[in-house]
């Protein structure tokens, strides 16, 4: 049974994490999904995982999704436009300006092309890591402003909604500036920070807390992919990195003489500016509101975390977010729970009455 907004066949070119995840999601809705990859091994694996079927003679897809590395995107999009003259083609590359410019230079029929980009992924790639729910609740940019028809944009919106993602309309230029700020530069900064750990002693690294894990998590991403992404969006990334370098230089010069007049104030102002930046990040469901957070100590034994969550539910309190931390060498985990500020006191009282130990509570 087909309960998709998309009608007809969908062809996915590229059987990696994104392509296979799109295939899994569409097939779960009954869409006739064709998957293709230049690598026979990658194609066979994606088909085995259920991401789609192999191409067959007579296929006539109405929509083609190109999910190949950024340096191949424009070439493959042009090939698909030529091979299927009645199809609308989109891509999921993380940079939008460069493929569009290359397609124009190649005189491709961009009237049937609408670039897009899902802001979703995992540290591990390939069809083996694909998930049908990879895009749920995630923004998915649709690049507009290139003369595309309203109908074409509507088809891509239908695809995005079928995958339970959130469509966001932007020009290619606005998209590339935006992802440089929220994705590409953070990748560079996390990588440089993680690089410093190579020189750390085992004793030093044994002191690692959740803050370091949070700020270096994305440094585990695929270097080959990020070489292409950063090269394709380098002018915008460089602009932001120069601003970052200026801020870092100010921090260094201030900390170099921490006893100088005004130094502590300057440090406080820079730290406060960081607080302001964090406060601008959207919260749950994109809401611009802050939550109170409790840190509850949880014994590292089977069933304890489940009991905590069940007792929060029994108290009639909605859990807004949850993060876990395990300190090395201890038998206690720390569950950081986010709730609405107005229910914080009631939750603390309820949990303490049930024997839970509250390590911290803050807004």
Residue 104 is predicted with a pLDDT of: 95
The 10 Å Cβ neighbour count of residue 322 is: 13
Residue 189 is predicted with a pLDDT of: 97
CA distance 61 to 58: 10
Sign for the CA dihedral angle at 21, 181, 217, 288 comes to: negative
Residue 124 is predicted with a pLDDT of: 73
Q: What residue has token string 């802001």?
A: 119
Residue 289 is predicted with a pLDDT of: 56
Residue 363 is predicted with a pLDDT of: 44
Residue 123 is predicted with a pLDDT of: 65
pTM above 0.75, yes or no: yes
Residue 61 is predicted with a pLDDT of: 97
Return the half-sphere exposure (C-beta side, CA atoms, 13 A cut-off) of residue 280: 7
Residue 121 is predicted with a pLDDT of: 80
Residue 108 is predicted with a pLDDT of: 94
Residue 337 is predicted with a pLDDT of: 87
CA nearest to 351, candidates 319, 320, 311, 323? 311
Residue 283 is predicted with a pLDDT of: 63
Rounded alpha-carbon distances, angstroms, from residue 278 to 273, 275, 288:
9, 5, 11
Write b or e for each residue in 180-195: b if 16 or more Cβ atoms lie within 10 A of its Cβ, otherwise e: beebbbebbbbbeebe
Sign for the CA dihedral angle at 181, 21, 108, 76 comes to: positive
pLDDT in single tens digits along all 363 residues of the chain: 678 899 899 999 999 999 999 999 999 999 999 999 999 999 999 999 999 999 999 999 999 999 999 999 999 999 999 999 999 999 999 999 999 999 999 999 999 999 999 999 876 778 898 999 999 999 999 999 888 899 999 999 999 999 999 999 999 999 999 999 999 999 999 999 999 999 999 999 988 887 898 899 889 888 988 999 999 999 999 999 999 999 999 999 999 999 999 999 999 999 999 999 988 887 654 554 567 888 888 888 899 889 999 999 998 888 888 888 765 556 778 888 888 888 888 888 899 999 898 876 544
Q: List Cβ neighbours of 68 (8 Å cut-off, separation of 6 or more).
A: 13, 14, 16, 19, 76, 91, 93
Residue 319 is predicted with a pLDDT of: 87
| Domains of the chain: residue spans and CATH | 10-171 (3.40.50.720), 178-279 (1.10.3660.10), 288-362 (3.30.70.260)
- Residue 91 pairs with which residues in a beta bridge? 66
CA nearest to 43, candidates 31, 52, 32? 52
CA distance 52 to 40: 14
């Amino acid at each position: 049974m087909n309960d998709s907004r998309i009608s007809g066949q969908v062809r996915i070119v590229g059987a990696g994490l994104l392509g296979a995840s799109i295939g899994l999601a569409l097939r779960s809705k009954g869409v006739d999904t064709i998957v293709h990859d230049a690598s026979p091994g990658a194609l066979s694996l994606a088909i085995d995982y259920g991401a789609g079927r192999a191409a067959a003679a007579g296929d006539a897809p109405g929509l083609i999704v190109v999910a190949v590395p950024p340096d191949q995107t424009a070439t493959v999009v042009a090939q698909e436009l030529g091979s299927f003259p009645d199809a609308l083609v989109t891509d999921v590359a993380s940079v939008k300006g460069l493929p569009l410019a290359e397609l124009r230079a190649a005189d491709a029929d961009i009237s049937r092309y609408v670039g897009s980009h899902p802001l979703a992924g995992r540290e591990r790639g390939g069809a083996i890591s694909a998930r049908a729910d990879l895009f749920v609740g995630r923004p998915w940019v649709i690049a507009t402003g290139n003369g595309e028809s309203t109908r074409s944009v509507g088809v891509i919106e239908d695809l995005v909604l079928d995958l339970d993602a959130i469509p966001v309309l932007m020009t290619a230029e606005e998209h590339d500036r935006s992802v440089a700020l929220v994705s590409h530069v953070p990748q560079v900064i996390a990588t440089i920070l993680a690089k410093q750990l190579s020189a750390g002693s085992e004793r030093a690294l044994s002191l690692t807390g959740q803050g370091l894990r949070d700020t270096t998590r994305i440094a585990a991403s695929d270097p080959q992919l990020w070489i292409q992404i950063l090269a394709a969006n380098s002018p915008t990334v460089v602009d932001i990195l120069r601003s970052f370098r200026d801020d870092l230089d100010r921090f260094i010069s201030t900390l170099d003489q921490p006893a100088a007049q005004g130094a502590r104030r300057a440090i406080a102002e820079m730290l406060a500016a960081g607080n302001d930046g964090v406060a601008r990040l959207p919260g749950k469901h994109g809401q611009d509101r802050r939550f109170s957070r409790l840190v509850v100590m949880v014994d590292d034994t089977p069933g304890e975390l489940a009991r905590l969550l069940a007792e929060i539910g029994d108290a009639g309190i909605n859990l807004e977010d949850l993060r876990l931390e395990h300190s090395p060498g201890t038998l206690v985990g720390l569950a950081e729970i986010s709730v609405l500020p107005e229910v914080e006191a009631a939750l603390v009282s309820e949990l303490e009455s049930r024997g839970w130990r509250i390590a911290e509570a803050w807004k």
